[in-house]
Amino acid sequence: LPNDKGKLQASILGACAGAHYVRNVAPAYGIPVLVHSDHCAKKLLPWFDGMLEADEVFFKENGEPLFSSHMLDLSEEPHEENVGICKMYFERMAPMGIILEMEIGITGGAEDGVDNTGVAKDKLYS
């Protein structure tokens, strides 16, 4: 399956296959599970959109979303843009009861290929 730029079909399929696997295996162990996607940067929003589409389909069929929560990490974007995008997704996710984790600020150090070790202390928050 291609992972064409702007579509990320293989990434969407992999994430959804993993979520379905966890949901199908968990009852055999008698355990509750949460299924979470982590650190979605702006360039990966097509992946996020694909997972939300899967959530919406699963919700219509089962009364609950496929994923329990998702994380948007738009900390590299300007604050207003970051909050605006997060708000848009939050409004889409809320009717399904999906938790949205938002990386609003920066925490310093290096993570996911972003190095913020030299950032002024007054800019560190998350």
Instruction: Write out the catalytic residue numbers.
Output: 38
Give every CB contact of residue 2 below 8 A, 6+ residues apart in sequence: 9, 10
Q: How far apart are CA 126 and CA 77, in angstroms?
A: 13
At position 46, the amino acid (one-letter code) is P
Q: Whose structure tokens read 């949460």?
A: 34
Read off φ and ψ for residue 38, nearest 5 degrees.
Answer: -125, 145
